[in-house]
Amino acid sequence: MAKISVALIIDIVGSRQLSDRPAAQRAIHDAFAVAAADAEVVEPLWATVGDEFQAVFPRVRDALRVTSLMRLVFPDAIDCRFGLGSGDVRRLDAGRGAPIYDGSAWYHARGALDEVDQRSRNAPGLRTWFHSDDATEVALVTSHLILRDHLIDGMSGRERRLAAGALRGEPQQRLAESEGITQPAVSQNLRRSGAAALIAAHRALEIGADA
């Protein structure tokens, strides 16, 4: 029986309008490296055709945390859509090049990417969707994603930086020093921006998954 994993497909929003697409692609790889530094990853991010990227995670919670952090650490000029799919993942090649995969997780991830593209036309801040064979899981995960993307979409650059640092577990005093503000100001910023709620939601997912 194939192991259940979570496939991720990323595409760049407005890629044809980018003045420097190679720089944008490097920025996405850099964001993944930061976001996945402390995460469990089956297959790290690789570039495919048409300004798309793919990765594989062992669990939904890992994929959610990494995509949250990627959105938080992206440069202002970079915006991406994320399609997540849970299911079986089978590697078809044995070479040294970019991996070739098949399985239901990829069909679900592609469907999720297509759906978020459609839904974002009426919900401009929405950037992520999730598909699987489990309707209850889809309802729970997409509820999290709708609220997450809404919070991140409304954050300023400083709010995103502080949220990313706090989600990675950096002490508030260190975050304060990096921004040239006080620790109480960091705490207030995290509460006001919704970052504290976002972090609490991710911790709840981790606790629930370990229960």
Pairing of strands 80-88, 128-131: parallel
Whole-angstrom Cα distance, residue 40 to residue 162? 23
Domains of the chain: 4-132 (3.30.70.270), 155-211 (no CATH)
Can you give the pLDDT of all 211 residues of the chain as single tens digits? 467 899 999 999 987 777 788 889 999 999 999 999 989 999 999 988 778 999 999 999 999 999 999 999 999 989 999 999 999 988 777 556 666 777 899 999 999 999 999 999 999 899 999 999 999 999 999 999 999 999 999 999 999 999 999 999 999 999 999 999 999 999 999 999 999 999 999 999 988 665 4
Rg from Cα positions in the chain: 17
* Tokens linked to 151: 């919070």
Find the distance separating the first CA and the last CA of the chain, reported in whole Å.
25
Q: What is the pLDDT of residue 21?
A: 84
Q: What is the pLDDT at residue 99? A: 67
Stated as kind and residue range, the H or E segment containing 187 is helix 183-193
- The model carries a pTM of 0.92
